[in-house]
Structure 1
C-alpha cells in the first residue's frame, strides 16, 4: 500500500503493543480471590490483632493473609522433583510451607484453601443454584448431549486438548503394557475425544500384541482420530488402534470389535463427568461387562470445588454439582465418597428419582452383582501460579483405580461350597 504523500511519515501513529489481558470477562467475579496484588490491601483489624499477638501470618509475597492458601509447617518434607514419586497417587511432594516463595514454582501440591475462599465457594454455589438453567434449555442439554460434542470437535478439531504425557506417571501400568514382549493386552479408552490419550500410547507402543480401542459418542471426535496420519499409517495387517463411535451409557450395545469379558484395562479420563447422574448406572454396568475378571478402570476427573466449578455464573446450573458450559457440553464435579459409592455399586438416585443398585440384568446373571473393588481413590489438589500475571488458581481432580472382582459373589459362594464338600470327602 502506498503512503499518503500529504501525511508526513513521522506523523503516522505508532501502534503500541497491548498488554495481555489479565482476566477474561467470565472470570471478573473471581478477581479478589485469584489476583495476587502488588500492594496488599489494608489488613482487617481482627487479623491485625492476631498478627500482633503472633497468632496469624503477616502478608507475604503480595498475598493477603485473609486469602492465603493454608501453608504447611517448615518441617514438612521437601522434594522439588515430584516426578520421582514412587506412589502415583501421592500427586507430588512440592509442599507450600510457611517460608516458601509462592512464585518460586508454577504449581504447589496438596494445597487446601483458606476459610475465606471456602466461604466464597459456598456463596457461589448458592448463587448458581438460585440461577439455574431454564426447564426448556435443560431438555436441550439432556436429550442429545453428543450433538454438543460434535459441534465442539467441529470447531476445535484436534487443537484444543494437549496430548496427555502424564499418563504413565499417574498410571504406571500403561508404561508396562506397551513394552516389547508384554503379551496380549486389550485397552479401551472411553470418551477418547481427539485421541490425546490413544495417540501417546500408540507412539510409545512396542508390544505387537497390544490392541487399543478408542471410543467416543461424538461422531466428529472419531472422524478427527481417524483422519490423523498416525491412525491412517499404522503398519501391519492388524492395526493396533481402532476408533469407533460408542456411547458408554448405551443400554443395548457394546463397542465394535469387543465382547463381554474381553478388555484388560478401561481408561476413563475426564469422561465420566460428561454424563448425567441418571446415566452412571448403565455406564458402570457396561464397563463391568466389558472387563475381564481382575481387569481395571483407570479414572481421572473433576473434583468438587475445582476452579472450573467455582467460576460458573448464572444460567449454568443443571442440578447439584452438574453444569453446562457455554458451548453446550456438560460437566459434573465429584467427591471421594461419592465415587466410592458409584463404583462399589451402592444405592444411587438419578434424575428420575428412582434408586437402585448399579447393575445390569445380564451382568447379574453372569457375575452375581456389579460392584468394583476400590484399589485407590484420591483427591489431587493443586494451586497453580501464573507468575507473570500474578494469578493463583485452585484446582481439584479425582483419581481412581477400580478393579472387577476375580469372581462374583454367587460364584464365590458356590466355589466355597464345593471346597467344603471336597474337604469333607463328600
Structure 2
C-alpha cells in the first residue's frame, strides 16, 4: 500500500503551487550534488551502472520466495474485495486531486486542440447514451475516488466535455458519485472490471476521444494486459489518444518489497492484498503497437525525491506514454 501513497504524493510534490509549478519533463536538473536537499524533487536523474545492478540484485533477492498458487488465485478472484477494503479504510482521504495532470498531459488542458476530430462530430448520434451529444468524450479507467475526474471537470467548466469513469471497487464509485460536483450531465461513473471482455460499457465502439490509464494497469494480472488494452482500444475513435502513466522497473516501491510478496516476474502483492506490476518501456511499446497504436511518447521519468527533514534520498521510476489510434486509410 505504501508504494501507492508514494506514487500519488511524489507525483504532486513539485506541483504544489501556481508560482512554482514544475515544468514538464526534465527542467529541474541536479547539477551540483551538494544542493540535493534544496528541492523536493529532481528530474532526469542519471542512473549509474552500479545503481542498475543494485536494482537487479534487490529484485532478485525479493523474488526468491513466491506466493503459493492458492493465495495467488485468491488475490486474482477476489481483487474487487481487496480494493473495496482499501477504499473502506481510506475513503476519499487517500489521494490528492491530480492537478499535475495538466503539466504532464497538456492534451487534457485543451482537449479540443490536442485531440483529432472524429468523423462523427457533426452527426447526430444514432443511439442515445450518456454523453452522446458532447463534443469530446474522455474515459478514465480505474478512477478510484475521482481525483482525475474532478480536476478535468473543473478545468473544462462547460457541457462540451463528458467524462466516463469506472473502477472495480463499488465503494470507490459510490464515493465518486457522492462528490458535491458529480453531475450526470457531465460525468458517468460505473463499476466495471476492465479485464472482463464481456463488460458492458455505457458508450459505443469508436466513441472516445481520450482514454486515461494512470497507475491502474499495474494492478492487473500481467496475463490480462494485452486483452485489456485490446478491449479498451475498440472504444477509441480513429485519431483518439491513450494517456498512460505507471510504475517503472526498479522503482523504489519494487525494491522495498520483502520476501514473501513475489507473485511472478516484476509482479507483487502488497500487505493489503492489492497487487502491483513494474513495467519496462519496451514491453509497453510492444503492447500498444500490437493494437496498432502509434507512439507519440514513451518516456522513463526517473526522479530523485528527497526528504529534506530526514535527509533521505528516494529514487522513483515511472513510465509515461501517449499513443494514438490512427485514422483509417481511405
TM-score by length of 2: 0.84
Counterpart of 1:101 in 2: which secondary structure?
Answer: helix
Deviating runs (4+, > 6 A) in structure 1?
none
> Aligned runs of 1:7-406 on 2, under 5 Å?
83-84=22-23, 88=24, 91-98=25-32, 100-177=34-111, 184-231=135-182, 234=183, 239-255=185-201, 257-345=202-290, 370-406=291-327
Deviation at 1:114, TM superposition (A): 3.6
Q: Which has the larger radius of gyration?
A: 1
Instruction: With a CA cutoff of 8 Å and minimum separation of 6, indicate the structure with the bigger relative contact order.
Output: 2
Q: Is the 8 A contact 1:186 1:210 kept in 2?
A: yes
Inter-partner Cα distance in structure 2 for 1:337 and 1:95: 25
3-state SS of paired residue (1:371): coil
Q: Give the TM-score normalised by the residue count of structure 1.
A: 0.66
What is the alpha-carbon distance in structure 2 between the residues aligned to residue 92 and residue 166 of structure 1?
A: 15
Once the two structures are overlaid, the 10-residue window that deviates more, 310-319 or 96-105, is 96-105
Does the residue aligned with 2:97 lie in a helix, a strand or coil? coil
Contact 1:322 1:333 (8 Å CA) reproduced: yes
Aligned to 1:362: none
Map Cα deviations across residues 57-93 of structure 1 (whole Å, 9 max, x no partner).
xxxxxxxxxxxxxxxxxxxxxxxx7734xxx4xx132
Give deviations 1:244-267, integer Å, cap 9, x for gaps. Answer: 011221111232x21111111001
Q: CA deviation at 1:115?
A: 4.0
Q: Structure 2 vs 1, CA of residues 313 and 105 (structure 1 numbering), >3 Å: closer, same or farther? A: same
| RMSD of aligned alpha carbons | 2.2
| CA–CA distance in structure 2, aligned partners of residues 397 and 293 of structure 1 | 28
Q: Tell me, which stretches of 5 or more residues in structure 2 are unaligned?
A: 4-19, 118-133
1:188–1:214 contact (8 Å) kept in structure 2: yes
Moved more, 383-392 or 124-133: 124-133
Which residues of structure 1 form unaligned runs of 5+?
A: 1-25, 28-80, 346-369, 416-426
SS of corresponding position for 1:95: coil
Aligned-partner Cα distance in 2 for 1:102–1:280: 38
Supply the distance in 2 between the matched residues of 1:92 and 1:287 (Cα, whole angstroms): 31
Partner SS state of residue 59, structure 2: helix
Give the superposition deviation at 1:178.
Answer: 8.0
User: How many residue pairs align between the two structures?
Assistant: 295
Q: Is the CA contact 1:82–1:92 (under 8 Å) kept in the aligned structure 2?
A: no
Distance 1:320 1:205 in 2: 41
**3-state DSSP of counterpart to 2:271:** coil
Q: Which moved more, 1:198-207 or 1:218-227?
A: 198-207
